[in-house]
Amino acid sequence: MTTISLRIDDELSKKLEKIGRFMERSKSFIARKAIESYIEEIAFLAEAKERYEDKKAKYIDYEKFKKQIGLD
């Protein structure tokens, strides 16, 4: 595991402390989970953008997709 350091403002630090107390976890744990969640979301969006821009990709409309997966 790698260690990093960062600066956050006092307001964010207080929020981390409050959430940490609520969850009975350290500020580091809360910050790590928040970073993991953010990175996962951005990575998903980056991959979706790549797929959207792929000229070879084939798409179907949303209604057809719902029928294919049994939601209609």
pLDDT greater than 80 at residue 72: no
pLDDT score recorded for residue 58 = 83
Query: What is the chain written as a DSSP string?
Result: ---------HHHHHHHHHHHHHHT--HHHHHHHHHHHHHHHHHHHHHHHHHHH-TT-----HHHHHHHTT--
pLDDT score recorded for residue 60 = 83
| Predicted confidence (pLDDT) per residue in 4-62, tens digit | 999 999 999 999 999 999 999 999 999 999 999 999 999 999 999 998 899 888 888 88
Cα distances (Å, whole numbers) of residue 53 to 17, 42, 47, 48, 49: 42, 16, 10, 9, 6
Q: Tell me, what amino acid is at 45?
A: L
State the pTM of this model: 0.69
Domain range list for the chain: 10-68
